[in-house]
Structure 1
Amino acid sequence: MPIRDDVVVVGGGLAGSMAALSAAESGAQVRLISHKKSTLRQASGLVDVLGAVNGDAPVSDPFAAVDQLPDKHPYRVVGVGGIREGLRRFDDVVGDRYRGAHTDRNALVVTHGGTVKPTARYPVSVAPGLASAEEDTLLVGFRGLTDFDAGAAADHLEAAGVPFDVDGSTVDFPIQFRDDARTTRFARALDKDQKDVRARLADAVVAELDAHDRVGFPAMLGDDHEPEVREFLEGRLSATVFQIPTGPPSLLGMQLEDLLIDALERAEVRLSTGNPAVGYETDEGELTAVTVDRRGRDVPYYADEFVLATGGLVGKGIDSDRESVVEPLFGCHVPHPADRYEWSEAEAFGDHAFARFGVVPDDDLRPTDADGDVHFRNLRAAGGVLGGADVAREKSAAGVSISTGTYAGRRAGEETVR
């Protein structure tokens, strides 16, 4: 018997998850198809809506800056109202685990590289370390943890002119791991409090504390019991303790992924994972099914509406060779210069054309062809697969995924229940 749903979402990252949740809110039966683990494991766990425009100084109010973006930017399709709608749904998902919903203004979060990043939503464990708070700060790193150099990060923050004294110190973690140990091993040790590791860690930091008001650790202060670990350390150190987002594998990113999965399960979204989407079926020019490769057998998933949320160049939702750029699943049009040398600039952090590659949506987020006509009437796109945004330069990746995912999912759900 054919497998049939009202809405099928392809892609299990932030955009796909938000699309599935938004579609389910309408009462539609939703299926989410994903192949590999989402890129959230490589993400910081922060939600950047818009941190910069044209490479200029950090944006204070991302909503006020939207009208400065190019006309083809995804934010110009969903509008400020769509961005707010997406954030409201995100806030419902994460509950009291995140901060930032109280204001339209970006917060300034300290990063593991010693920079200050404007962001709209951030984990509660990150909140005490905002750079806008004039509290003398000690950054603590660990020998053997290569992801975070506390001394270098402190120097960079001082050079950036933060309004507080900041120092860095590297100590031995109470349990010895190999030199390239991942942050998850440190987190598990603190979760279980192996060999009184929490108390021994506090003792190691006390010797470096001096008169600092707060202490920042790389984001590895436990996973299941992180609030308990922070509370214990604050009691022993008599200082505020906060976490600093790290690079991959990102514990904060994985925790956000867990929150999304929990929300999908509560919404009764059907999850089909581990098998790649490889093709599709149509009837009279309308999309009827997405097929996945299940151990060499093509299995179709039928639906009335579909959302494409497979990611951009990093997530392989957009693919390229030396001559062309393609959207590999549905063959949607991806405009790009014919001359490959025009895809990038000489400067590493320049205005690269490839950073904006993606499908071109109409005013309802439906991918269009080279002539501007809708590719499939019942297909919408969300997140990194959309073109027109340089999300790394703008610091807008999560915001684009959340807002366009929410919009695309809502519209797909509306179409199936009307």
Structure 2
Amino acid sequence: MAIESEVLVVGGGLAGLTSALAATRAGADTRLVSYKQSTLRNASGLVDVLGYTPEGEGPLTDPYAAIPSLPTEHPYRTVGVEGVREAMTFFDEVGPDYRGGHTDTNALLPTHGGTIKPTARYPAGADAGLASDERDVLLVGFEAMVDFDAEHAAAHLEAAGVPFDVRGVTIRFPGELRADAKVTRYAKLLDTDGEVAVRGRNRPVRTALAERVNTELEGEARVGFPAVLGDDDAAGVRADLRAALGADVFEVPMGPPSLPGLRLEDALFDALDRAGGRFETGNPVVDSDGDGRIERVYVEKNGAKIPNSAEQYVLATGGLVGKGVDSDRETVYEPIFGCHVPHDDDRYEWFDAEAFGDHEFARFGVRTDDDLRPIGRDGGIEFDNLRAAGSVLGGYDFAAEKSGSGVSIATGYAAGRAAAEAAR
């Protein structure tokens, strides 16, 4: 017997979660199915709308002002400027504690590599680290955490001409965690303020960490740490460190695995649960039935194919990285519904000879009509009850533009709302 719902969302990343939340809050009986862990855990946790134009101009001050000049096939042109604004307001309402919603202007934040990144929304834990703030900064790295070289990052920030003095130091994290310790190990230890051995006696880890950093401070008003400062009680960790150091404390966005990305994922799943949406993770959607209209999809569970049916569907399985778009030596395709993915017939045209050139594959994905319904090779709508959202969409290079999160939220919101409306 098929599992039924009004709206079924395939994919548990930022686009899928936004779609499911939007559909649920619009009154639809919504179910989300997702296989693997989402790419959010590999993301910085920052939410970008548009940092650079497709031609590489930027960083942009006002991302919304640049949207009307984007190519017509760009997903932002499909949902429109006001659609993007409405979606970001929705994220502010349902998402975790993020900053940046008070202005259209991009914020500039330092990254763990010492670059400056334009972004539209950022976690509260990164608030004191804005590059537009002229107060001096001390960056603190941990010996066992080789992914963050504080001295290297500080030197790059200085070279970039930030309006403040910045130094980097590397210390031993209290408790001597192993070099292969997961970021969650640091976070949980700080969450619980567990005791660690320091010179033969036990000390609360927050106190011990502050004491070590205090020996390095030279009057800086801000101290930046790798983004591991707690999970369940991140605000409490920052508050205790701020009080002990006499300086504002912030987290520097890190590469994968990303604790801010994990926090964002958890917060959105919690929001979906509170809204009354249903979800199932850990089992893949492997096939579908339908000709012009999707009748059902099949979720593989313990070797069996379990049918799931709905009035409306949202495809939010990701792009090439998330395997929502796949390829072989001959073609590029969307594997669940068989949606058309435009691409050159000559596979050697899929990429540029230069490593950082203009690669066609970066823009691979399904194309849609104005209602986000996938369009076939003949230009017609493939399925009238299927919409696509997020990086499964083509026509844009999210990595170069710094637009991935914004496109996921904007198209996810639009697809979820449209699906809920059509299911009534």
Structure 1-normalised TM-score? Answer: 0.98
Name the CA distance, whole Å, in 1 between partners of 2:190 and 2:75: 41
**Alpha carbons 2:318, 2:324 under 8 Å: kept:** yes
Name the CA distance, whole Å, in 2 between partners of 1:154 and 1:321: 43
Which one of the candidate residues 207, 226, 229 is aligned to 2:234? 226
Which residue is equivalent to 2:324? 317
| Partner SS, residue 5 of structure 1 | strand
Which residue is equivalent to 2:173? 173
**Alpha carbons 2:68, 2:81 under 8 Å: kept:** no
Which residue is equivalent to 2:100? 100
Question: Where do residues 2-401 of structure 1 align in structure 2 (5 Å cutoff)?
Answer: 2-53=2-53, 54-94=55-95, 97-195=97-195, 196-282=204-290, 285-401=292-408
Q: Shift in Å at residue 68 of structure 1?
A: 2.1
Q: Shift in Å at residue 253 of structure 1?
A: 0.4
Q: Which amino acid aligns with 1:167?
A: R
Q: Shift in Å at residue 38 of structure 1?
A: 0.8
Which residue is equivalent to 2:200? none
Q: Which amino acid aligns with 1:408?
A: A
| Partner SS, residue 52 of structure 2 | coil
**Alpha carbons 1:319, 1:325 under 8 Å: kept:** yes
Name the CA distance, whole Å, in 2 between partners of 1:343 and 1:32: 33
- Determine what percentage of the aligned residue pairs are the same residue: 60
Name the CA distance, whole Å, in 2 between partners of 1:416 and 1:190: 46
Q: Which amino acid aligns with 2:251?
A: Q
Is the deviation greater in 84-93 or in 379-388? 84-93
| Partner SS, residue 103 of structure 2 | coil
**Alpha carbons 2:2, 2:306 under 8 Å: kept:** no
Cα deviation, 1:228-264, whole Å, max 9, x if unaligned, reads 1111111111111101111111110000011101111
Name the CA distance, whole Å, in 1 between partners of 2:385 and 2:79: 18
Q: Which amino acid aligns with 2:175?
A: I
Cα deviation, 1:359-400, whole Å, max 9, x if unaligned, reads 011111110111111010110000000000100000000000
Q: Which amino acid aligns with 1:220?
A: V
Q: Shift in Å at residue 11 of structure 1?
A: 0.3
Q: Shift in Å at residue 322 of structure 1?
A: 2.1
Name the CA distance, whole Å, in 2 between partners of 1:117 and 1:379: 35
Q: Shift in Å at residue 57 of structure 1?
A: 2.1
Unaligned ranges ≥5, structure 1: none
Q: Shift in Å at residue 35 of structure 1?
A: 0.7
Name the CA distance, whole Å, in 1 between partners of 2:114 and 2:270: 33
Q: Shift in Å at residue 34 of structure 1?
A: 0.5
Which residue is equivalent to 2:198? none
Cα deviation, 1:47-72, whole Å, max 9, x if unaligned, reads 00000002122011000000221110
Structure 2-normalised TM-score? Answer: 0.96
Name the CA distance, whole Å, in 1 between partners of 2:353 and 2:157: 28
Cα deviation, 1:212-234, whole Å, max 9, x if unaligned, reads 11000011111111111111111
Cα deviation, 1:308-337, whole Å, max 9, x if unaligned, reads 000000100000122211101111111111
Name the CA distance, whole Å, in 1 between partners of 2:354 and 2:163: 31
Q: Which amino acid aligns with 2:141?
A: G
Q: Shift in Å at residue 94 of structure 1?
A: 2.1
| Partner SS, residue 140 of structure 1 | strand
Unaligned ranges ≥5, structure 2: 196-203
Name the CA distance, whole Å, in 2 between partners of 1:79 and 1:115: 30
Question: Where do residues 404-415 of structure 1 align in structure 2 (5 Å cutoff)?
Answer: 404-415=411-422
| Partner SS, residue 63 of structure 1 | helix
Name the CA distance, whole Å, in 2 between partners of 1:119 and 1:254: 18
Q: Which amino acid aligns with 2:360?
A: A
**Alpha carbons 1:145, 1:182 under 8 Å: kept:** no
Name the CA distance, whole Å, in 1 between partners of 2:227 and 2:374: 38
Q: Which amino acid aligns with 1:154?
A: A
**Alpha carbons 1:146, 1:180 under 8 Å: kept:** no
**Alpha carbons 1:51, 1:118 under 8 Å: kept:** yes
Name the CA distance, whole Å, in 1 between partners of 2:387 and 2:16: 11
Name the CA distance, whole Å, in 2 between partners of 1:68 and 1:181: 46
Q: What is the root-mean-square deviation in Å for CA atoms of aligned residues?
A: 1.0
Q: Which amino acid aligns with 1:89?
A: F
**Alpha carbons 1:345, 1:351 under 8 Å: kept:** yes
Name the CA distance, whole Å, in 2 between partners of 1:74 and 1:156: 34
Q: Which amino acid aligns with 1:144?
A: A
Structure 1 runs of 4+ with >3 Å offset: none
Which residue is equivalent to 1:402? 409
Q: Which amino acid aligns with 1:333?
A: H
Name the CA distance, whole Å, in 2 between partners of 1:191 and 1:322: 48
Q: Which amino acid aligns with 1:210?
A: E
Q: Shift in Å at residue 354 of structure 1?
A: 0.5
Name the CA distance, whole Å, in 1 between partners of 2:358 and 2:178: 40
